[in-house]
Structure 1
Amino acid sequence: MYIEYLPHPFLSRYVETYWSSTDFTEKEVRRRVLPDGCADIIFSLHRQPLPHIVGTMTTFLEITYLGEVRFIGIRFKPGGITAFTRVPINEFTDSQVELFSTESVFDKSFGEDIPWERSTTDIVSSVDNYLLSRLPKLYVLDERINYAVSLIKQGKGNTPIPLIAEQACLSKRQFERRFLADIGISPKAFSRIVKFRNTHRLLKSGANRSLFDLAVDCGYYDHAHLIKEFKRLSGSLPSEL
């Protein structure tokens, strides 16, 4: 069971959603998590609930589990976690790092004061309150990178990178460097993920059109290119998803 919870409005600039995932299986299960351009902080409640940063993913992540599993997560908006840590986000890309091993606004009370024995709603409320208490200590976000992210999303991943850099008032080299540090991946990689997720959403909507037409409408050269991107980012063919 997977459930999402909205953050406090004061945190909506940084946090996309809180989420919980619970499952129990008597046989080994394999799941794939698809890239979304975001970084998360995750508590594994079926183990010792120490928080880990799961960095921005450049491809799918496959997880295998058996028995009971329970996760609580904070999914930050692209670049949102930058306000909570001084460490360049690209140091976490495609990896998991213990939160307290990095320089951030979090202290050991994050986790120790959370009522793990209570309901998920109570746990999420406690996490939300903790993040609200950190607001005075947050680092300043680079609004130029936030603006660039919004341009990429508006263009559904098809806006040329030099044009985005120009509109964000950054040289191409500055833009690449700042984007990588704040988002965790390059502007090109982020654009590919945005394009993939937009195409995936249209596939799930059940729109009655050919794969070639969908590919062209979403900015791919042809359906062969679309299939290649889907296999690279999700490990599956479009029809399998």
Structure 2
Amino acid sequence: MEYIESPPSPVFSGFIKRFWSLEYDPAGKNAESETVLPDGCPEIVFNLSDRFLKLHRDGNEVQAATLFSGQLSRNITIQPTGRVQLFGVRFQPAGFVPFGVSMGDMTDQIVDLRLVLGQAGGELEEMVNSASGFTDRIRIFENHFRSRLADQGKEDPLTSAAAEMITQSGGAIPLSALRGRLGVSERRLERHFKGAVGISPKMLARISRFQAVVRTIQRSESVGLLDAALSFGYFDQSHMIREFREFSGETPRGYFDHTHKISDIFTSVVD
């Protein structure tokens, strides 16, 4: 498995967290399914090889070649059908604002990029697919994003600042303290988050805390569940387990009993 990543050019760092590339060949035809966890970030993923399946209780769905994922409030399960070769653009929580999309409409949605960006999405897909490598794909995407910024001129500094404070604290900052620092009412902040992020400040804080717990346990087998729960501000171990079930679909012990080729990479990355 080969995973590489790169930060964006500084001018785009307020919108884009990182570019990444993942390549591997699953063993055999019956590749293992993968759990994708909520992480507080919208994302565009270009599939440069075989498609993925999105698994449902009532059947499987072949995913589009290029996907836009809005904010996830719950896990999804995917499965490769062959060789994996992905190029991804992970945005800041409010980083998709320049595309003029209401993120509240995209929560828990994973759709063909062309349904979100129209013809421009198809053109971008073709250019990225024909690029010579990782660096060239970054150049192509940044050129496209630069034109979006010039055309739309949209940004939401209030929401971006609030989201950064939440994620940098691992979801630990009290929202009342956050609103006090920014001088904003609860209602106004909720309204901004609905349009620019797609989930509430409270949900982003819960997801950020969950991700911090996953990273901590993933790095150290000696960390007990009770210690982790208390360290990250859960009321007790049962509270943390309920949150873990909601976001991963499993108990902590059940989740960590097996590896997750894709999720393990992304949860190990510290933003």
| Alpha carbons of structure 1 residues 108 and 206: separation in structure 2 relative to 1, 3 Å | closer
8 Å CA contact 1:43–1:71 kept in 2: the answer is yes
One-letter identity of the residue aligned with 1:147: A
* Secondary structure, aligned partner of 1:67: coil
Worse-superposed segment, 112-121 or 208-217: 112-121
Question: CA, structure 1 residues 218+68, in 2 after alignment: closer, same or farther (shift >3 Å)?
Answer: same
8 Å contact kept, 1:165–1:172 = yes
Quote how far apart the aligned CAs of 1:204 are: 2.2
Unaligned runs of 5+ in 1: none
| Aligned counterparts, 1:7-156, within 5 A | 7-25=8-26, 26=28, 27-46=30-49, 51-83=66-98, 85-102=99-116, 106=120, 108-114=122-128, 116=130, 118-156=132-170
Q: How far apart in 2 are the matches of 1:208 and 1:101? A: 46
Report the secondary structure of 2:90's partner residue: strand
Change in CA separation of 1:10 and 1:55 when aligned onto 2, cut-off 3 Å: same
- Letter paired with 2:4: I
Deviation for aligned residue 1:171: 1.9
User: Does 187-196 or 172-181 show the bigger shift?
Assistant: 172-181
Contact 1:89 1:183 in 2 (8 A): yes
The CA distance in 2 between the partners of 1:78 and 1:47, in whole Å, is 28
State the shift of 1:94 in Å: 0.8
Please tell me whether the aligned partners of residues 22 and 71 of structure 1 are also in contact (alpha carbons under 8 angstroms): yes
Contact 2:50 2:80 in 1 (8 A): no
Q: State the TM-score, normalizing by the size of structure 1.
A: 0.87
Q: In 2 relative to 1, CA 157–111 (structure 1 residues): closer, same or farther, beyond 3 Å?
A: same
Gaps (5+ residues) in structure 2?
Answer: 52-63, 257-271
Closer, same or farther: CA 164–23 of 1 in aligned 2, 3 Å: same
CA distance in 1, matches of 2:119, 2:81: 34
State how many pairs are aligned. Answer: 240
Identical positions, percent: 30
Q: Deviations over 1:196-238 (max 9, x none)?
A: 1111222123174432122111100111111221121122332
RMSD: 2.5
Once residues 173 and 9 of structure 2 are traced to their aligned partners in structure 1, the CA distance between those partners, rounded to angstroms, is 32
Give the distance between the partners of 2:83 and 2:221, measured in 1 at CA: 37
**Cα distance between partner residues in 2 of 1:117 and 1:16:** 21
In the alignment, is the contact (CA less than 8 A) between 2:104 and 2:198 conserved in 1? Answer: yes
Amino acid at match of 1:14: F
CA contact (8 A) 1:216 1:222 kept: yes
Q: Is the 8 A contact 1:59 1:232 kept in 2?
A: yes
Letter in 1 for 2:82: G
Residue 115 of structure 1: how far off its partner (Å): 5.3
Instruction: Check 1:113–1:202 CA distance in 2 against 1; reply closer, same or farther (3 A cut).
Output: closer
Q: 1:189 aligns with which of 187, 192, 203?
A: 203
